[in-house]
Structure 1
Amino acid sequence: MSRSKKKRPIKPKIIFFVEGDTEKAFFISLAQHYRLTATKVIHILNCSGTDWVDKATSMMKNNPKCKPSDNTQFYIIFDKDNLSQQQIQVMQSKVKRLKGKGIKCNIGISNQNFEVWLLAHFKLVTSHSMNSVQLYQELSKCLGQPYKKADPVQIEQILSNDKVHNAIANSKTITPFMYNSQSTDIGTVITNILS
């Protein structure tokens, strides 16, 4: 008599559409660090344009590796930069429409930039806005060396010792995304992925 095989749950396929190289380095390292084997496909959107949701939707339609399925989760990660509140609201509405079509899609936005999320790995971040220079200086202090954008070695240092859980806790007061103050909802994205 043969043993019946138990069906193992299928891990969701996670696709990140990211705006820049720092985000790319972070999510590649995160996938490796937490053995998220179904997170092999990471697409980079070339830091141009203003509608990241349209670009991601186009890739979902035109790239066979990005086709939506019941088992696929999409995350569109970008910085507020110079986007207007209206532009961000339009993108949020488009994501709601995608969800209405059964596509599992979420946005992760940082105001002003992704380094707010990286700094949260080391210390509490608040809604008091810091510009890029200030964020880089703070990250340099925490790292004990000058911060370099998208440096995979530094990203590994940031993620070491499960500091991502510190980042989730240290950014709770600035989650969800707020247009007029420093914020990041990357912690919500990470919580969804790791749960």
Structure 2
Amino acid sequence: MSRKSKNRPLKEKVAIFVEGPTEKNYLVQIKQDYNFSNASIIKVFSGQGDYVDKAESKCKELSKKYSLKNKVLFFDTNHKNQDEINSLLKKAEDKKYQVAFSNTCFGVWLLGHFEPMTQSLISEKNLINKLNGHLKKPYEKANANQLALIASNFNNAIENTSSIVSYSYEFQSTNVGEIIKKLIL
């Protein structure tokens, strides 16, 4: 085991916390495409419990090895009520997290890679059907090859979702592109 230098500063990291494998695989692809090597993408949100508390626990572990430059939570409103969402947003803000959200699901952001998005809510089923059409085959959740193809249209997604970046529980919204853009630039 090598000895740690007392004068060497800790390497900076961006800690990105996601709900599921789709978000994680998508962000791994973005990390590769944009040479975003100082990011750690961590899936912590499976099961029950408070997302922010779970992320904070992981941050404590990471901060032993790294200086955390940013902390980012990715989540969607799918299967959460408005009170849960508001509580999560407040707690994340209090703990200095950037929050990347999608209402109703991450599929809103993914579909934005192919077509302009509006505030009109589209069901998760219809989002998937539209993705199927753009991919010209059935969308497979968390499929790394499909997510690589989708991510190759990242700049289109930034433009196609620019009108829905403000958080809304009533309307379709996503600020995922805004958050990623800040991280990679």
Q: Counterpart amino acid of 1:58? A: S
Give the superposition deviation at 1:25.
0.5
Matched, 1:79 2:79: no
Q: 1:67 to 1:110 in 2, by over 3 A?
A: farther
Partner of 2:25: 25
Give the superposition deviation at 1:60.
1.6
Partner of 1:164: 154
- Measured in 2, the distance between the counterparts of 1:189 and 1:72 equals 14
Contact 2:11-2:66 at 8 Å conserved across structures: no
Runs of 4+ in 1 over 4 A off after TM superposition: 66-71
- Measured in 2, the distance between the counterparts of 1:108 and 1:67 equals 25
- Measured in 2, the distance between the counterparts of 1:27 and 1:187 equals 11
Q: 1:51 to 1:130 in 2, by over 3 A?
A: same
Once the two structures are superposed, what CA deviation does each residue of 1:81-109 show, in whole Å capped at 9, x if it has no partner? 1212221221222122223xxxxx21111
Give the superposition deviation at 1:48.
2.1
Q: Counterpart amino acid of 1:60? A: C
From 157, 176, 187, the equivalent of 2:166 is: 176
* Aligned positions of 1:3-152 closer than 5 A: 12-39=12-39, 41-49=40-48, 51-61=50-60, 63=61, 65-66=62-63, 71-99=68-96, 105-152=97-144
- The alignment partner of 1:92 has SS state of helix
Q: Counterpart amino acid of 2:44? A: L
TM-score by length of 1: 0.83
* Structure 2 gap ranges (5+): 1-9
- Measured in 1, the distance between the counterparts of 2:116 and 2:169 equals 19
Give the superposition deviation at 1:194.
2.2
Count of residue pairs the alignment pairs up: 176
Contact 1:79-1:109 at 8 Å conserved across structures: yes
Please, what is the CA RMSD of the aligned residues? 2.0
Contact 1:78-1:110 at 8 Å conserved across structures: yes
Contact 1:50-1:83 at 8 Å conserved across structures: no
- Measured in 1, the distance between the counterparts of 2:80 and 2:94 equals 21
Once the two structures are superposed, what CA deviation does each residue of 1:3-25 show, in whole Å capped at 9, x if it has no partner? xxxxxxx9952221100110010
- Measured in 2, the distance between the counterparts of 1:68 and 1:120 equals 36
